[in-house]
Structure 1
Amino acid sequence: MPSFFEEVDGVRIHYEKVGTGSQVLLLIPGAIGCTRSDFPDQLDGGLDQSLFTIIAIDLPGYGKSRPPERQYSVEAYPNDARKAAGLMDKLGYKLYSVLGWSDGAKIALLLAIRHQARVDKLIVWGVVPYASEYDIKAVSMTRDISVFDPKSRKLYIEAYGQELFEQLWHKHVDYCVGFSGNATAIWDIRKEMRSIKCPTLILHGDKDPLIDKNHPYTAEKEIADSRLVRFANGSHNIHQVYVQEFNKTVTDFLLE
């Protein structure tokens, strides 16, 4: 895949770019994810490259945007959003739609909140608008990577190798659990979400064990121009398991 680097605010950011379509898409991976671990089913022809120009980013500290190592702090997600917006500015894209999965959904929401003039449409799944006790408990139970969906685990190991995958994931879990006492103050963006103006598609797997079941409904409630599409048997990684249905749903929404 065409692989490139840009320096954004002093950080070397890796991204992939495919397609020649008139609509520009920014794909944002989940926690510790990268272009290859999270989006091969979208980048490698799953989304029509004659319709879309697709940029997929490795966030700072993940994928090929390392070193340096990930800097975990209360500003981690806002910093990710700034880097993503900065990359698109560097590439000359002034208007684009954003697709974000899991942690990437949080960052996509922040982009739509804080860079409203840039975001045409928003698509999020595995979204966590605030951290509940359920969320903290669920992520803590994933320290043992054997509980991961087999396809997701395989893709992470292919991207990082077994040892580095486990190291990066354990650091992420420690970050989430370490902030659990004031997670609401750090990660609660429900009020900010009310300012999102762009059309928004919220996707949700009804059997997702990793996020509080209320989250997709909260997102739909707080974002005025939004709709919720549910995958009855879907888990956290609906884009990797229900590939054709996911890609068609996304494409139909983007072409409306």
Structure 2
Amino acid sequence: MAAALGSRGARRLLLLLSALKPGLHVPRAGPSAAFSSSVTSARVAVNGVHLHYLQTGEGEHAVLLLPGMLGSGETDFGPQIEALNKKLFTVVAWDPRGYGRSRPPDRDFPREFFERDAEDAIGLMKTLKFKKVSLLGWSDGGITALTAAARYPSYVSKMVIWGANAYVTDQDERIYQGIRDVSKWSERTRKPLEALYGFDYFARTCEKWVDGIMQFKRLPEGKSHGLLHGPFAG
């Protein structure tokens, strides 16, 4: 298994800073992005919820695209869905529970939400009858991918991970608290997510996400502050 890790949290920090500084924009496809007719959209029952996914390609190598905070397969991976080689890969871009079109349920953030997302992601690919899968994840999707690989090492073939962090630092906390109020985000960053969710759900879920992430920093004294445990922690 090979894991390609970018500089720690760089992509995540760029996205979060772009929310507050209009000059720093991270492009996202809009929720109504036009895909070719070869892209299918469906929902399937996994672990008691209905998960939405996009699928394209006919290659033997299955690849799951895992979006970041508040993202969906469509908003975060439009260019990859279009451009990845359809003869080499079968590409699946999913919406984690509570995100995108995997609603209901509403998104929540219990202590084990990354583990829950990892189980959902692997469960989705097994439900779709893939024998092995490679994972491409960024931000929260990168953490989910690492968690999934640690739990299912024989099922995960390869990974490409960027913007995933193992710890919540004081600097992270300042940035996360700075994006709690989505009305302060730049319009270009805010509009695609407002279009996807509506303002109220978007704003409420962002606040819950900040609280969910901060619980990792505020674990009882003596316990690890890490988001990841096992072979990928550190």
Q: Calculate the TM-score normalised by the size of structure 2.
A: 0.75
For residues 174 and 55 of structure 2, the distance between their equivalents in structure 1, rounded to whole angstroms, comes to: 36
User: Which residue does 2:50 correspond to in 1?
Assistant: 12
Does the 8 Å contact 1:37/1:152 carry over to 2?
no
Instruction: Write the deviation string for residues 212-235 of structure 1: whole angstroms up to 9, x where unpaired.
Output: xxxxxx6xxxxxxxxxxxxxxxxx
Q: Shift of residue 48 of structure 1?
A: 2.2
- Which of 198, 205, 228 is the equivalent residue of 1:168? 205
Deviation of 1:152 (Å): 4.0
The aligned counterpart of 1:207 is none
Residue 178 of structure 2, aligned match among 141, 146, 151: 141
Instruction: Tell me how many residue pairs correspond in the alignment.
Output: 194
Q: Report deviation, 1:190.
A: 5.4
Question: How many angstroms apart in 1 are the aligned matches of 2:76 and 2:105?
Answer: 21
Q: Secondary structure at the match of 1:166?
A: helix
> Which runs of no fewer than 5 residues in structure 2 stay unpaired?
1-38
CA apart distance, 1:76: 0.7
2:232 to 169, 181, 193: 193
1:106 match: 143
The alpha-carbon distance between structure 1 residues 171 and 188, as it changes in their structure 2 partners (threshold 3 A), is closer
Q: Find the residue that maps to 2:224 and give its secondary structure.
A: helix
SS at match of 1:38: helix
Q: Within the alignment, does 1:34 sit opposite 2:101 as a pair?
A: no
CA distance in structure 2 between the partners assigned to 1:95 and 1:178 by the alignment: 33
Structure 2 CA distance for aligned equivalents of residues 46 and 131 of structure 1: 34
The percent identity for this pair of structures is 35
Aligned pairs for 1:39-78 (under 5 A) are 39-43=77-81, 45-78=82-115
The answer to whether structure 1 residue 25 and structure 2 residue 63 are counterparts is: yes
Would you say the 8 A contact 2:74–2:93 is kept in 1? no
Greater RCO (Cα-Cα under 8 Å, separation 6 or more):
2
What TM-score do the two structures reach when normalised by structure 1?
Answer: 0.69
Q: CA RMSD in A?
A: 2.2
Summarize the alignment of residues 148-159 of structure 1 with structure 2, pairs less than 5 Å apart.
148=185, 151-159=188-196
2:160 corresponds to: 123
Equivalents in 2 of 1:119, 1:167: separation in Å? 34
In 1, the alpha carbon distance for the partners of 2:88 and 2:189 equals 27
Between 1:75-84 and 1:156-165, the stretch displaced more is 156-165
Q: Identify the range of structure 1 (143-152 vs 94-103) with the bigger mean alpha-carbon deviation.
A: 143-152
Q: Distance in 2 between matches of 1:121 and 1:147?
A: 38
Write the letter of the residue equivalent to 1:140. Answer: Q
